[in-house]
Amino acid sequence: MSARTSFAKSVVLSEDFLGMSGGAQFLYFALCMRADDDGFVDNPKPIMSKISTTEVELSELVSKKYIIPFDDGVVAIRHWFVNNRIRKDTYIPSVHQDKKRVILGAGRSKEYMDPLDNLPPGNRVDQGGNEVSQEVPPRKKVL
């Protein structure tokens, strides 16, 4: 986990972010503070419990595209590299490199891209596991 975490004004002062509930905003800040150097949080549930937020706020962050959830409970902060610049000499790679490869943006994008955003509706991963499920790590279904 990085010793310092920053927040870009372009992210946290945007109309979209400020339009979210206070609980969702607070959860976003708490998740960012506990993310590893690649922007992954292993399990948001204990964090949510400590700050008294619920699945509702987590779902709000997912629907507004501020986090990307995975089936195993891991979440990725979509704007991690917009918010943070980790020094190369202190960088510790995430244990979630498989997930990072899937959500890295094309080119020099600083924003993680959800691979499900660009798929036609018929090709999305479902609970039964479509053909896409071999290419994309399992995703967590958030209520």
* Amino acid 138: pLDDT: 54
* Amino acid 3: pLDDT: 66
Mean pLDDT by 10 residues, the chain (143 residues): 79 96 97 95 96 97 96 95 90 93 76 75 45 47 50
* Amino acid 140: pLDDT: 53
* Amino acid 107: pLDDT: 60
* Sequence-separated contacts (24+) of 1-6 with Cβ below 8 Å: 1/34, 1/35, 1/36, 1/37, 2/35, 2/36, 2/37, 2/84, 2/86, 2/90, 3/90, 4/84, 5/32, 5/33, 5/35, 5/83, 5/84, 6/83, 6/84, 6/85
d(CA 134, CA 43): 23
* Amino acid 2: pLDDT: 55
Q: Which amino acid is at 10?
A: S
d(CA 26, CA 86): 23
* Amino acid 110: pLDDT: 82
d(CA 36, CA 8): 17
What are the two backbone dihedrals, phi and then psi, of residue 32, each rounded to the nearest 5 degrees? -60, -40
* Amino acid 5: pLDDT: 80
What are the two backbone dihedrals, phi and then psi, of residue 85, each rounded to the nearest 5 degrees? -125, 110
Q: Can you read off the two tokens belonging to residue 65?
A: 């595209």
Q: Can you read off the two tokens belonging to residue 96?
A: 């979630």
* Amino acid 124: pLDDT: 46
Indicate yes or no: pTM above 0.85. no
